[in-house]
Amino acid sequence: MIELGKAGTAGTEKGTVPVLDDGRLVATLHASKWKEAATATVGDRAWVFTRQKRQLTGRWASDPETAVRLSARQTSAWKSIWSFDLEGTPVEARYASRWKSTHRFESEGSPVALSGKTGGWSPRPTLTFQRDLPLEHQVFLLWWELLMRRRAASVAAATAAGGGAAS
């Protein structure tokens, strides 16, 4: 299982989130608070995760800005289904539980991962893998999970502030 740790812990700088595998630092993520963008360091490689038009993408920092190595796009807004291309590996994500905001990831009908959360007042996303994926792909999926949780929190906050249905 990999999880996002608390920012500034596990030997990371303030504002940098550790990616932990059973408590061991395996990567770092520096996610923007205002945009759907992040930089990740996996091993000795820097990655750039961002939103390009209607898809989320990942590329090496040394690649041109138009390069896409990892991508995610929503294929069904109604069912909230997302399709990923992880350097040629197709993966699909859908809700495992809307109530718990967890997702299950599958590739060609076989399970890949299941999301969860850890922590109390400030839950952080986790991913438990049933199938081996390269660590950079795992980090991209974890970043996507973070974005989905931020989107849901944003909608909940807007609704609570009166941005929902008029009474």
| CB-count exposure of residue 14 (10 Å: 0-12, 13-18, 19+) | exposed
Residues in contact with 48: Cβ distance below 8 Å, sequence separation at least 6, in sequence order: 37, 38, 39, 58, 59, 60, 61, 63
Alpha-carbon span 149 to 157, nearest angstrom: 12
Alpha-carbon span 42 to 24, nearest angstrom: 13
Taking only the tens place, the pLDDT of each residue in 87-105 is 999 999 998 877 667 899 9
- What is the C-alpha end-to-end distance of the chain, expressed in Å? 44
pLDDT higher than threshold 80 for residue 165: no
| 3-class state of residue 162 by DSSP | helix
Q: Tell me the average pLDDT across 67-84.
A: 94
Taking only the tens place, the pLDDT of each residue in 33-64 is 889 999 999 999 999 999 999 999 999 999 99
